[in-house]
Amino acid sequence: MNLEYFISKNIVKGDSHSKKITKPIIRISIIAIALGLIVMIVALSIVGGFQREIRNKVIGFGSHIQITSYDSQNTYEASPISINQDFYPGLDSVDGIKHIQKYAMKAGIIKTKEEIYGIVVKGVGSDFDWSFFNEKIIEGSSFLVNDEKAQNDVLLSNHIATKMKLKVGDKMFLYFIQKNGQLRPKDFIVKGIYQTGLEQFDNLYVIADIAHIQKRNGWEKNEVGGFEVLIDDYNDLEKMGDYVYENVGYKLHSSTIKDQNPDIFNWLSLQDYNVNIIIILMIIVAIINIISALLILILERTNMIGILKALGMPNWNVRKIFLYNAVHLIVKGLIWGNAIGIIICIVQQQFGFLTLPEESYYVSVVPIELNILNILLLNIGTLVLCVLMLLIPSFVITKITPVKAIRFD
């Protein structure tokens, strides 16, 4: 252990007058750093969780990547694509791609005795991944699609079911809107009711057997509206999107979920700015507090500084004594901040004691995403910035002369 570090460990020890001044300042600095880190960890985790939940809901309705014909983009009346493609179904064997499934969409109207309601029917096949909707179903269940025989079951959102006064097991009439404007009716049975909280989609989609859309459009059994591709990791979306685009052939077009819903994903990206502002403000508060503590320590130890200089200790070595002490305070504050912040996040993650109005925030419980790497970077960044800023006030030590310092009272 070097001399500077030994002195720094004992710098707050001294007479009762020094303790009365330095001890409260040290406690305040530690508390400020801890509180700042708690706020940063909680804010980062909440925003990360919020982005994940909304993103997953949008992907649940439309997958990560969609493959369609060129003239079918952003329309519900798609031109048919043959299911006999080189990439189907073998694309899911590619590393990073989880699943590929066929789908088709068509506009329609639900009609009851009292109400009519415009919707979009999403037709799914036997290869459809129900994992997202199975988590969101609040009544009933999903249905199995048989490629040999069309199923008359449908999945409705809670919003549509409530508005149309429909329950699980009820019979309903759905009118498919043809290109010529005519309506073609078909009766269905409500198999399940789902609720995602994302009104933009809940108010719109009804899930049904793709065979009904194929029949109303006059398609063959081997014709679909497009393909949906699910990938393993959202962070690989751009890379996998480029891969799919390059491998579907020149006759087809592929687009990512971000391309299809730019407004939603741009809005989610804006949440990062809020977190950045909070982090910057908390770091500034921590820096101000630790600088104040360091200056008070220097002021209280002016005599000691003079004696050390008189004994021949260089300015930098004297500065290191106070920097060591300041780093010790910062680390102590970070330890407390990490412990409390992570515990708060884990408790919320497990028990969901903080709730939100789903109609306003699209989630019913405050979501949490604990990212250890982000928390580690947050700690390192806070420590490095605070230490760098402490170099400025520690420069005051170089201006203290031994003669004046020893006389200082």
Q: Over the stretch 295-322, which tens digit does the pLDDT of each residue have?
A: 887 777 777 777 777 777 787 887 888 8
In a domain, 391, yes or no: yes
How far from 158 is each of 19, 188, 190, 192, 309, CA to CA, in Å? Answer: 64, 17, 11, 9, 77
Residue 335's domain comprises: 3-57+265-407
Q: What number is the average pLDDT over the span 237-245?
A: 93
Helix (H) or strand (E) holding 171: strand 171-177
Do residue 215 and residue 314 come from a single domain? Answer: no
Whether 270 and 398 map to the same domain: the answer is: yes
With bands split at pLDDT 50, 70 and 90, how would you rate the model's confidence at 47?
very high
Position with higher pLDDT, 400 vs 50: 50
pLDDT of residue 304: 78
Assign 394 a pLDDT band (cuts: 50, 70, 90). confident
Q: Are residues 112 and 218 in the same domain?
A: yes
Whether residue 65 is predicted with pLDDT greater than 90 in this model: the reply is yes
User: Residue 207 domain-assigned?
Assistant: yes
Q: Is residue 72 part of a domain?
A: no
Q: Are 48 and 92 found together in one domain?
A: no
Shared-domain flag, residues 112 and 216: yes
Q: For residue 173, what is the enclosing H or E element? A: strand 171-177
Instruction: Say whether pLDDT at 37 is over 60.
Output: yes
Mean pLDDT score, 75-98: 87
Same domain? For 273 and 398 the reply is yes
230 in a domain, yes or no?
A: no
Of 206, 224, 242, the residue at which a domain comes to its end is 224
Q: Are 89 and 53 within one domain?
A: no
**Residue 234, domain member (yes or no):** no
* Nearest CA among 123, 114, 104 for reference residue 172: 114
119 domain-assigned:
yes
- Polymer length in residues for the chain: 409
Tell how far CA 128 is from the center of its chain.
26
Domain boundary among the residues 224, 256, 280 is at 224
pLDDT of residue 18 exceeding 60, the answer is: no
Maximal CA-CA distance, the chain: 100
Domain count, the chain: 2
Residue 257, domain member (yes or no)? no
Q: Which of 197, 224, 251 is the last residue of a domain?
A: 224
Same domain, 209 and 110: yes
Q: Are 336 and 386 in the same domain?
A: yes
Q: Are residues 84 and 44 in the same domain?
A: no
Question: What is the rounded average pLDDT of the residues 267-282?
Answer: 91
> Residue 24: is the preceding peptide bond cis (ω within 30°)?
no
Does residue 38 sit within a domain?
yes
Q: Which residues pair with 65 in a beta bridge?
A: 229, 256
| Predicted pLDDT of residue 403 | 64
Q: Are residues 8 and 93 in the same domain?
A: no
* Predicted local distance difference test score (pLDDT) of residue 147: 82
- Same domain assignment for residues 270 and 312: yes
Confidence of residue 21 (pLDDT cuts 50, 70, 90): low
> Which residues lie below 8 Å from residue 198, measured CB to CB, with a gap of 6+?
54, 57, 58, 61, 362
pTM: 0.84
Q: How confident is the model at residue 182 (pLDDT cuts 50, 70, 90)?
A: confident
The whole-chain average pLDDT of the chain stands at 87
